[in-house]
Each structure stands twice: as structure tokens, then as C-alpha cells.
Amino acid sequence: MEFENKENRTEIGSLGEFGLIKHLTEKIIIKNKTTIKGIGDDSAVIDFSKNKTLISTDVLVEGIHFDLSYTPLKHLGYKAAVVNFSDIAAMNAKPSQLLVSIALSNRFSLEAVEEIYAGIYMACEKYNVDLVGGDTSSSERGLFICPTVIGEADEKEITYRNTAKPNDLICVSGDLGGAYMGLQVLEREKSVFKVNPKSQPDLTGYDYILERQLKPEARTDIVDLLKDLKVKPTSMIDVSDGLASELLHICTGSNVGCSIYDEKIPIDEKTFNTALEFKMDPTVCALSGGEDYELLFTVDISDFEKIKGIRELTIIGHVTEKESGINIISRNGTQNPITAQGWDSILKKE
């Protein structure tokens, strides 16, 4: 891998911890007025005046959440930031500050860490977020990235996941299952490579689903769109573990049931065809494949006129009384309960 064999390899140890932090962060220009003090003291200082502070963290572990044999380090940095931004979007708000802690072994050169940070900075630039802190450490083995994201919101705008109510419409942004199918393609090419190391990976034509897996986006644009439409969702969550798992979170949290319609679930043509190629059911991929980072939300039925016909949004069903259960209805009208088969990291043997 590039970061291991590079000729002009610089050892991180030559900089020391403080040197490394300085090197990685000295070009930061603060973008948000709310950032009073960024990197360089014992803590960052943020001023949200009357708004509430939102904070969330999602850790990414080598061998569990990413495989460096097919994940470019810059994409990894980008994704680590974006999946955290998505948690703030899922509160119907926008991220503004980020802290990133990284632990890594001496397998990684300075150039490798720079690539990870280049991805983090690219995400910060795109989403108008300030990197205000973090920590770097060595590890005995492997790479760990632990970002913490902060955002702000007016209390009236914050949308929780436990406040859906019967008759609400269930909506999802974009399309689902793509990130999961992208992962299947990458894993297949990795297996081929293992058998025949001279083989070249054949990724032609899979661009869309590969990008869904390797360079996901946080749907802060949907947060803006809903504001423009004057729609305040009644509940919201991001699709990180798969549609089924997120629906269960909303329904059990809100003490309601739901009916969603198989044929309504938005699946991109490329995702659909790749699923068939892998002899998988595209609906199952959308339900159980995670990492799409789309927003799943409910709106009051009175908002139907505002939502319908918006290209980026799909109404996939509606909220019911708890007693009706959490169900998916197929094209032929049969009803089946939804169970979580979400992507769940399994503990690895040491």
C-alpha cells in the first residue's frame, strides 16, 4: 500500500506529538463566527449565544469500519468527518465545529496522516465546519479515528427520533442500498486480487455505488430544503445502519407502528442492477445495508402538498398506531413485519 512503501517516507516520530499537531493544523483558517478559540489551548471555546449546542461522536476503526486495501486515506478522512456531520443533520441542524482524535501505529508515515487530514479538511471546507481540536496518539496496531462534531440549532428546529405520531408521512432523502452494494463490489475485487495478485480490479461502471461507499455525503442540503419548504419534520434519524434499523428506532422510540411500501423505497438503477448481479434482493439491500447517510424523517400529513413532487424526497409510507406493528407491504399486497438485520459490527477475535 502506498502509505507503507512510499520512497519519500517521513517518520511521524521525527516530529513528536506537538510537532505533528502543529504540522497538521497550522494552515487552519476559522470559518465560523461561533468559533472563539480553535486548536491551541486545553479546550476549544464556542459561542452559540441563544442556540442549543448539539454534540455527537462516531468512531471509525481499521478492520471494522474500513479496509485500507481498498479505501484511499483521503476518502477515509472525508468519510470520518461526514458520517459525524450526518448525526447533526439528523437533528435537523447543521454542523459547525469538529474535533478529531487519531491513534495510529508506526506503519503510517507522516504522508499517510497528511492524506487523512486532507480528506478531513476537504469535508470541513465543503460543509463550512471548523476543526477546533483533537488528539493524536500512537497505537500498538491499527488506525483509529474518533471525530466529535458540534452543531447548533434553535430549540424549535431540533428534531428528535422519538416524536413521530400516527398518520405522519414517512419520507427518505436520495436513494438507499448503494453504499452497501459498493462495498460488495470492493470486497469481490479484493477476493479476486487475493487469488490472483496480478489481476487488475474491474470497477468500471460502478462509479456511483463506489462513491456512495467511499465518499458519502451528509444531507445538510435536505435540512436547508426543509426549511425552505417550511416543513418541520416530526421526527428524524440518519440512515447509517440500514432503513429497517432506523425505522425500528423511530417507531419504538415514538411508541408507534408504521407501514412502508416495498415499491416506494428509492433504489438507484445501478444499485438495483448490481444487487441482481450479486443475486441479492434490492429491497433487502436497501432495508439492511447501511452507510447511505440519507435522512429518514416523518412529517405531519398536512405537509403533504409541500413535500410531494420534490425530486430529492420520497414518501415511502406512513406512521400507524403501535398495535399495527412495524410492517413492509409488498407489491402484491402482502404485509411482513420489519426486523433489524442492520449492519452490526461483530467483535473480532484478537
- Residue 4: is it exposed, middle or buried by C-beta count within 10 angstroms (0-12/13-18/19+)? exposed
Nearer to a second copy, 125 or 135 (CB): 135
Query: Is 238 one of the binding residues for a second copy (CB under 8 A)?
Result: yes
CB of 334 to a second copy, least distance (A): 28
Query: Is 40 one of the binding residues for a second copy (CB under 8 A)?
Result: yes
Sign of CA dihedral 172, 175, 177, 180: negative
The Cα 95–Cα 68 span in angstroms is: 27
Judge contact between 175 and 57, C-beta under 8 A: no
* Binding residue (CB under 8 A) for a second copy from 32, 71, 101, 273: 101
* Binding residue (CB under 8 A) for a second copy from 26, 42, 269, 323: 42
Sign of CA dihedral 162, 257, 283, 185: positive
Tell me if residue 10 falls in helix, strand or coil: coil
CB of 53 to a second copy, least distance (A): 4
Nearer to a second copy, 64 or 118 (CB): 64
Task: Fill in the per-residue mask, 147 to 186: x = in contact with a second copy (CB under 8 A), - = not in contact.
Answer: -xxxx---x--x-xxx------------------------
Q: Looking at the DSSP assignment, which residues form a beta bridge with residue 326?
A: 258
The Cα 247–Cα 257 span in angstroms is: 9
CB of 65 to a second copy, least distance (A): 7
Site for a second copy in 316-335 (CB under 8 A): none
* Binding residue (CB under 8 A) for a second copy from 77, 87, 206, 286: 87
Nearer to a second copy, 26 or 140 (CB): 140
Site for a second copy in 121-150 (CB under 8 A): 132-135, 137-142, 144, 146, 148-150
CB of 121 to a second copy, least distance (A): 18
- Residue 158: is it exposed, middle or buried by C-beta count within 10 angstroms (0-12/13-18/19+)? middle
Query: Is 62 one of the binding residues for a second copy (CB under 8 A)?
Result: yes
Q: What are phi and psi of 144, to 5 degrees?
A: -125, 130
Strands 169-173 and 52-57 come out as unpaired
Binding residues for a second copy, total number by CB under 8 A: 76
Nearer to a second copy, 237 or 319 (CB): 237
Q: Which stretch binds a second copy (CB under 8 A): 8-16, 172-180, 303-311, 328-336?
A: 8-16
Taking the CA of residue 291 as centre, how many other CA atoms within 13 Å lie in the half-sphere pointing to its CB?
A: 25
Nearer to a second copy, 108 or 180 (CB): 108
Residue 271 to residues 16, 190, 206, 211, 240: CA-CA distances in angstroms? 45, 19, 9, 12, 17
Site for a second copy in 203-232 (CB under 8 A): none
Query: Is 253 one of the binding residues for a second copy (CB under 8 A)?
Result: yes
Sign of CA dihedral 158, 160, 163, 164: positive
Tell me if residue 311 falls in helix, strand or coil: coil
Query: Is 233 one of the binding residues for a second copy (CB under 8 A)?
Result: no
Nearer to a second copy, 29 or 347 (CB): 347
Sign of CA dihedral 268, 292, 52, 168: positive
Nearer to a second copy, 48 or 261 (CB): 48
CB of 185 to a second copy, least distance (A): 23
Query: Is 37 one of the binding residues for a second copy (CB under 8 A)?
Result: yes
The Cα 76–Cα 91 span in angstroms is: 24
